[in-house]
Amino acid sequence: MVNSKKMNEHLQFLRKLKSVTFATVEENKPCVRIADVMLCEDDVLYFLTGRGKPFFKQLKNNPQISIIGMDKKYKTVRVSGRAEAVGREYVDKIFEANPMMNDLYPGEKRDILDAFCLKNGEGEMFDLGANPVDREFFTFGNVKTKRIGYHITDDCIACGACKDECIIGSISEGTPYKIDNRNCLECGRCVSFCPVNAIKESKYYK
């Protein structure tokens, strides 16, 4: 389990990038746009949108949202959860933290904007620039489950086929063999080479 300090670092990563990808759903179709994480406070992410924008309407109709950003060194953080509208005081707070917003929406013109937050969700840090590749799954707020990828069941016959075929060397010998999810690319190559179908996708654990 990622500790609170590391989890905060992952959320602050998105704030430092600022301009990241926000994904929503409209009529069962994915919708994406580049927008800014305007504030990260007490492990909560805050952002703005205008009430006339499709983004706003999508959040109102289906508040499920995913946010993802990657830096120049190929480190990525992705979070998902349910966006919540917050009070008008957060609009002013966001403007204080992002002074350039005053040029776009001077004075009372900011009244067309509403603030939202993501305070409960799950996330993933994936650092493709690290050697070996580094991955962490985490949760924040009141979410208690965490995604972990693939695992090898007791049906394993210890033939070593999965270990030999792993692209990144994240499988170790044992009874059964074991996948290190911290380094796993989740490509599924091991699954396709297992002769007894002993490798399963573990979507969640508690």
Beta carbons of 61 and 128 less than 8 angstroms apart: no
33-85 pLDDT per residue, tens: 999 999 999 999 999 999 999 999 999 999 999 999 999 999 999 999 999 99
CA torsion sign for 48, 109, 112, 34 is: negative
Give the H/E segment covering residue 55. helix 54-61
Alpha helices (H) along 84-152? 89-97, 101-104
Mean pLDDT in residue range 82-91 = 95
108: Cβ–Cβ under 8 A, 6 or more apart, which residues? none
144-169 pLDDT per residue, tens: 776 678 999 999 999 999 999 999 99
Mean pLDDT in residue range 22-28 = 95
Mean pLDDT in residue range 100-122 = 94
User: Which of these, 111, 45, 109, lies nearest to 77 by C-alpha position?
Assistant: 45
Q: Which domains does the chain have, with CATH numbers?
A: 4-140 (2.30.110.10), 149-202 (3.30.70.20)
Mean pLDDT in residue range 132-140 = 91
**pLDDT confidence tier of residue 141, bands split at 50, 70 and 90:** very high
Beta carbons of 13 and 69 less than 8 angstroms apart: yes
